Structures are given as C-alpha cells and as structure tokens.
Amino acid sequence: MNTLAGILVVLGALLALAGSLGLLTLGSFYERVHPPTMGATLGTGFILVACVVHFSDMQDRLVLHHLLIGVFMVVTTPVTYMMLVRAALHRDAAQGQDLLASSRRAGPAAGASEEGQG
C-alpha cells in the first residue's frame, strides 16, 4: 500500500512539473493556457488518490474526503480558464488584434455548408 501511494504521489508531482514547465516554455498565451490544466486535474487526482490510499491504510478505514478537492478542482478549473481566455480575447480585441475576426467570417459560411450537406 505504501509503495502504491509513493508511486502515485511521484506520478502526480511529475504531471504538475510538466504542466508548470509548459507554462514557462510555450510561446503565446493561448498555448500557455493548456499545460497547467494537466497539473490541476490529473496531477491533483494522482496525489489525492495517494492520500486516500495512505490514510485509508493508516487509519484502517476508508477515508474518501480527499476526493472532495479533486471534484472541486475538476469543476472549477475549466470555469476559471474560460473566464481568463475570454478576458484575454477581449483585451486583444481592445488592442486591435481581433483573433475572433477570422473565425467570425468563416463561422456562418462553414455552418451554411454543413447545413447544405446535411
């Protein structure tokens, strides 16, 4: 049981490290949004499962309340990052580089062709 918890905690730490490394090294903001989600969901999940395994082993009963943090992180991380990316798109549009303009032009045409085929 301790071996399983040790392997899980190192896996989670490696995922968190990979997420932060991607945050540091990638080029643009819209690329940098992606890597931290890995540490926030899967890295947190591995470390929380390690906590569940270790404390269940230590207290001789099933200890599951650590998974509450995992549920909370899985629910809130997409919400915050979507708000953040919307704010970044708004700021980019305010500075004159409208990254949504091309998709706005392509969007209705692509939808119409899909409707035509359907």
Partner 1 sequence: MNASFLDTAAFAAQVLIGLAVVFAATRLVIGPRAQDRVLAMDTLYVNAMLLILTHGLRTGNPYVFESALVIAVLGFVSTAALAKFLLRGEVIE
Q: Residue numbers of the site for partner 1 (CB under 8 A)? A: 1-3, 5-7, 9-10, 12-14, 16-17, 19-21, 23-24, 29, 32-33, 36, 39-40, 43-44, 47-48, 50-51, 54-55, 58-59, 63, 65-66, 68-69, 72-73, 76, 79-81, 83-84, 86-88, 90-91
Closer CB to partner 1, 83 or 110, in the complex: 83
Distance, in Å, from the CA atom of 87 to the CA atom of 93, rounded to the nearest integer, reads 10
| Residue closer to partner 1 (CB basis): 95 or 102 | 95
Which residue, 7 or 106, is less far from partner 1 as judged by CB?
Answer: 7
Q: Smallest Cα–Cα separation from 8: which of 46, 39, 56, 54?
A: 46
Which single residue is written with the structure tokens 């968190």? 16
CA dihedral 98, 100, 101, 102 (to 10 degrees): 120
